[in-house]
Structure 1
Amino acid sequence: MMIKYQNRDQQLIDDAINIVKLGKNLLLKGPTGTGKTRLSENISDSLSAKQYSVNCSVDLDAESLLGFKTIETIDGVQQIVFIDGPVIKAMKEGAILYIDEINMAKPEVLPILNSVLDYRRKLTNPFNNEVVIAQKGFNVIAAINEGYVGTMPMNEALVNRFVAIELKYIDGETLKQVLIDQSILTDEQDIEKMIKLNELLIKMVSQHQISEEVASVRALIDACDLMTIMPFERAIERALVSKLETDREKEAIRQLFELI
């Protein structure tokens, strides 16, 4: 389902779609929970394009991106075959490749994508020497969480291959529509409570009182669902507070209950 955005946010999603339509690689920048993955899905839906995803981590290697060799029995004979990975599948099918948290990948892994991300849209697979040329419609959307634990600065040559859009936390009417669309909570007063909580969480994040992942839309949706079977305070405790590591952050959020 396409999220209904307010004017400012609708302009953002329109720009994102048009950037991809132009054949530009799109970099989505923003903290956890600002809807980067959802926006990527919306773009693919709008363009009626299939999407392949890569979730980056320090363990990401070339095989995770391009694929791997394996042994299969074909007509009774064992043969070595190559299983295409998400990058090659997206290129061959003219699909969208979504690279999540691209700045968590080791710097030495990503240069393999340089020729894929520039005007060449081409790759020589080092595992089988196949030359892969991207089909029409292929494009790349990547997402980064700047300053997040485990991330590394992106190489300048890599950044220059993207057009960037910065996402902020959603709030107000936009958040209300998301909670209505994506949670099972229907009580309007409870939804307003959650919007107020989100407003206070974002303020605390900006003041560096709590970590940014606390103000996640995913966590708010979980809390809304839990509110259908338990009181507000307990729902927040289960969906947000209990996941935190420091007592200081936990107590800071518990104190918000009185304000709400």
Structure 2
Amino acid sequence: MINTAPFYHVIHKESEVFFHAFQNKIPLLLKGPTGTGKSRFVEYMAHELDKKLITISCHEETSSTDLIGRFIIKGAETIWIDGPLTTAVKEGAILYLDEVAEARPDVIVAIHSLTDHRRELFIDKLGETVKAHEGFMLVASFNPGYQRGFKELKPSTKQRFVALSFDYPKPDIEAEILINESGIDESNAKKLVNIGRKIRNLTELGLTETVSTRLLVDAAKLIHSGLPKRLSVNVAVVEPLTDDPQTLEALKDLVALMI
């Protein structure tokens, strides 16, 4: 259980959607760029529902075995260890597959029977089928704009979920987030938000990813702790965005003007 309520600003009735999806035992898919609050939202809802949350950060090596479980040798015997997916299914927890599109295809196959009316998990190594606990919920997230055309969820998979779209919050809400997360004052919070919005609009730079709210929070924390403003923004926002020297200089010049 998450004991302390995570700060989250509800914008488009997403908490109502989550609650009704949970009540109706429908899996939920969160779509949006990195750093827009998808993971924080799931933590917030797990706290609101007083549910155990199990989070899996998916990557290209994440397999169904990692999620379902495996046999291990312990002393002179071989024993079965449940994976996080199996544990969540049995205990009735919320399972959050962060960046599910990054996982191997067999992960999608493994969760198919959990995302329809069956709500069951087949463990092929044990020859068992586990019926999901009444309180089990599957939540997944992915970034539709990342590596478009290379790693995307199939329409047949997406249609097994109800979906919510996330984007960067409006300036006043984003400033509120920075203040709550870092303790920074309102004036500097607004300056950081303006820098973030300006860089997001610079499409001609060809950045793979743009400034997330998460990066702005990091910059705000550094400023609040006493690091100079320009340096804070350069190391927390500019440097993580690109390795191209010309783009770095252009962004640093922009920050120097705006800070």
TM-score, normalised to structure 1's length? 0.89
CA shift for structure 1 position 141? 0.7
Moved more, 241-250 or 125-134: 241-250
The CA deviation string for residues 162-208 of structure 1, in whole angstroms up to 9 with x for no partner, is 011111112322212211221143x322112112112212322xx35
Identify if the C-alpha distance between structure 1 residues 41 and 4 changes in structure 2 by more than 3 Å, giving closer, same or farther: closer
Match of 2:180 in 1: 181
CA shift for structure 1 position 209? 2.6
- The DSSP-based 3-state class of the residue aligned with 2:13 is helix
Moved more, 208-217 or 154-163: 208-217
| Aligned counterpart for 2:205 among listed residues 204, 209, 213 | 209
Partners of 1:173 and 1:240 lie apart in 2 by 19
- The DSSP-based 3-state class of the residue aligned with 1:109 is helix
Pairing 1:226–2:222 present: yes
Pairing 1:242–2:236 present: no
Pairing 1:34–2:36 present: yes
Letter in 1 for 2:28: L
The CA deviation string for residues 114-133 of structure 1, in whole angstroms up to 9 with x for no partner, is 11111111112012223211
CA shift for structure 1 position 210? 4.8
Q: Which runs of 5+ in 1 are unaligned?
A: none
**Does the 8 A contact of 1:30 with 1:166 survive in 2?**
yes
**Does the 8 A contact of 2:8 with 2:41 survive in 1?**
no
Partners of 1:119 and 1:247 lie apart in 2 by 53
- The DSSP-based 3-state class of the residue aligned with 2:210 is helix
**Does the 8 A contact of 1:171 with 1:198 survive in 2?**
no
CA shift for structure 1 position 36? 0.8
TM-score, normalised to structure 2's length? 0.89
Letter in 2 for 1:31: P
| Aligned counterpart for 1:149 among listed residues 115, 140, 147 | 147
Pairing 1:5–2:9 present: yes
Identify if the C-alpha distance between structure 1 residues 105 and 18 changes in structure 2 by more than 3 Å, giving closer, same or farther: same
The CA deviation string for residues 23-71 of structure 1, in whole angstroms up to 9 with x for no partner, is 1111100011111111111121111111111222111112111111112
Runs of 4+ in 1 over 3 A off after TM superposition: none
**Does the 8 A contact of 1:214 with 1:240 survive in 2?**
no
Match of 1:138 in 2: 136
Q: Among the aligned pairs, what percent are the same residue?
A: 30
Identify if the C-alpha distance between structure 1 residues 212 and 43 changes in structure 2 by more than 3 Å, giving closer, same or farther: farther
**Aligned CA-pair RMSD:** 2.0
Match of 1:172 in 2: 171
Letter in 2 for 1:235: S
